[in-house]
Amino acid sequence: MRGLPPLFAEEPVDPPDARGRFGQYGGRFVPETLIPALDELEAAWTEARRDPAYREELSSLLVNYAGRPTPLFRADRLARALGLSGRIYLKREDLLHTGAHKLNNTLGQALLARRMGKKRVIAETGAGQHGVATATVCALLGLDCVVYMGSLDVARQSPNVSRMKLLGAEVRSVVAGSRTLKDAMNEAIRDWVTNVRTTYYCIGSAAGPHPYPFLVRELQKVIGEEIAAQVLAAEGRLPDAVVACVGGGSNAIGALHRFVREPAVALYGVEAAGHGLTSGKHGASLSRGRPGVLHGARSYLLQNDEGQVSEAHSISAGLDYPGVGPELSHLRDQGRLKVLTATDQEALEAFQQLARAEGILCALESAHAIAALREIPPSPLVVANLSGRGDKDLDTILGALK
Amino acid sequence: MSRLSDAFVKGRTALVCYAMGGDGDTAALLQAIDEAGADVIELGLPFSDPIADGPVLQEAATRALGAGATLRGLLDLARGLRLRAPMVAMGYVNPIESMGAQSFARALREAGLCGAIVPDLPFEEAGPLRDALAAERLDLVPLVAPTTPAARAATIARSARGFVYYVSVTGVTGSRAALPEDLQNRLGELRAVSPVPVAVGFGISRPEQAAALKGKADGVVVGTALVATHHEKGLQAAADLVRSLRAVLQ
């Protein structure tokens, strides 16, 4: 049996402050009805993370069920195809059970839900990967599962809708607003406000009211812990740069957090530039937004002069979100996180380059990280997080390549 | 002293009426509600992502934003009205922060409003806006929910100015067939510790539901039912609903 993964230490590194803030970002901007539930969640999480039984069960599931550790693959042909002289390593979260990093988080949260005695779990999903990961753990633990998904995403990510249904989850299509992740999250919050006594809300991004951004980061940072150990084993040192795509930011904070206090490691987040940063149709909240409050937290936000939230756009449903997690907002302001962007077209090209060079069909979200590899300063040793696999995107990709 | 608190007269249950700003002819609606007997008027400020609202108020906000409603525009409109009932703004935090808490407070005062209700600004986050409003002698009306523990409810009530808004149901705004059985007990507990009047809202749509709360709260809030009636049946029907609600609370 493979060794257990390095799960969160008993005392967390760089936690938010007592009010759930990373710098000026985060907090709890939700209806009063939810405040006691957030207090309850925070207390349950604080207790669980110190409980060896919780950690052992989660570790065991991450190894024996999910397939951790995921490989770190040296992608020499991709480096050549991109014209890069340094080495590129791909962190293969696409090989995790259910096909994306999302399961790291849903396993930890579903165990927490069971511990808290909640029998019903709700989730929001954009690309459907978090919805699938939630439906999967609910099947595994015998919990009822309802997933909210924007009707536009239901149409463009239909394989994941089918997967959720086959796993026994109910998928509720949301027709309000932009009919994407933002609106799915609104509706999930409304469900939680209504059913808070019996329901666990499993948020998929490192976003939402405190303690979710912290909780999701702690559950996802296993990605970066593994990257550090694997690169050290392969190269005898830490990487020069780590790159991840940023929608809400769960794969990014998961891959990057381990390196925040390693000043020699440059950290890059890649946002969706959609049709272009000046087109008004993109998902680049860190690049083009300003601080605001959405979905329970203060963070960078795409909004108009009146403070109305703008509709985002990206070819990848997982990056099609006008907000971003509070900790990434803080790291951006500190200058620790460098923010890059890739357009729909650049992501499509990167998807094809990776497919032809390495035989990997990655998610369109992850293709944004690949597309940005040429944008970062030349570095001898770079790790890109391949957050998910591309099966769900085949219709979108084939349609766009016509 | 607070114009809002004074609108709740001892021994009488006040009627608090909500209108979504920018959804239809807001000036005419506010005037009609005022003439029909509302004791306090909540002016809804539309937001793109209203997480505390059910479908009726979501759609009303979408219509208002689609028709070009803006915060400044609505406050300009309010400034031109001469209403008997004190008016309080009800809106989400992001448009308020976008304008800036101090600018918002000043604009409210200049428009003649008495304060604000912000459903996604719980006690822990409310300090800066409460202070900005207080500097303009305006009130921040906090919300207490069925899930709020008693000690926390008392803390919130002590911070309140104007009145406390008790959320009758665990859920979002919108009509309910029945209200919770322990509602009257919860209202009694809250009134016992609150230095300001307690109004109850969320889910109250019909005169008989309002009548059952007569004397159990200092005020009853009707929102969704009024917005739906105004949108579907027009100004006269909305005014009639206000009159019938006022009558059962007499």
pLDDT in tens, A264-323: 999 999 999 999 999 999 999 999 999 999 999 999 999 999 999 999 999 999 999 999
B120 as an active site residue: the answer is no
Which pLDDT score is estimated for A2?
A: 46
CB contact under 8 A, A33 and B124: no
Cα–Cα dist A382/A10, whole Å? 30
CATH numeric code, B13-248: 3.20.20.70
pTM for the model: 0.96
- pLDDT > 70? residue B76: yes
Q: Which distant-in-sequence residues (6+ apart) come within 8 Å of A385 by Cβ?
A: A91, A93, A101, A223, A227, A242, A243, A244, A245, A251, A252, A254, A255, A366, A369
* Angle made by CA atoms A209, A213, A217, in degrees to the nearest 5: 165
> Looking at residue A107, what DSSP letter applies?
H
- pLDDT > 60? residue B49: yes
Which pLDDT score is estimated for B118?
A: 98
The verdict on whether omega for the bond into residue A69 sits within 30 degrees of 0, i.e. cis, is yes
Disruptive mutation site among B47, B48, B169 for chain A (greatest number of A CBs within 10 Å): B48
How far is residue A259 from each of residues A89, A247, A339, A384, measured CA to CA in Å? 16, 20, 16, 13
Cα–Cα dist A313/A282, whole Å? 4
Q: Which distant-in-sequence residues (6+ apart) come within 8 Å of B185 by Cβ?
A: none
What are the pLDDT digits (tens) for B117-147?
999 999 999 999 999 999 999 999 999 999 9
Q: In this predicted complex, what is the ipTM?
A: 0.96
CB contact under 8 A, B170 and A193: yes
**Model confidence band, residue A4 (pLDDT cutoffs 50, 70, 90):** low
Q: Is the dihedral of CA B171, B175, B178, B181 positive or negative?
A: positive
Contact B21/B43 with Cβ under 8 angstroms?
yes
What are the pLDDT digits (tens) for B219-247?
999 999 999 999 999 999 999 999 999 99
- pLDDT > 60? residue A3: no
Q: Which two tokens stand for residue A251?
A: 């794969």
Q: What are phi and psi of A339, to 5 degrees?
A: -105, 125
Q: Which two tokens stand for residue A233?
A: 């084993």
Q: How many residues can be counted in chain A?
A: 402
Q: Is residue A354 within 8 angstroms of chain B, CB to CB?
A: no
Average pLDDT over residues B6-32: 97
Cα–Cα dist A149/A337, whole Å? 30
What are the pLDDT digits (tens) for B150-192?
999 999 999 999 999 999 999 999 988 889 999 999 999 999 9
Which residues of A are known to be catalytic? 102, 124, 387
Which pLDDT score is estimated for B1?
A: 60
Q: CB atoms < 10 A from the CB of A93, how many?
A: 30
Q: Is residue A41 within 8 angstroms of chain B, CB to CB?
A: no
Cα–Cα dist B248/B245, whole Å? 5
Catalytic-role residue among B39, B42, B139, B218: B42
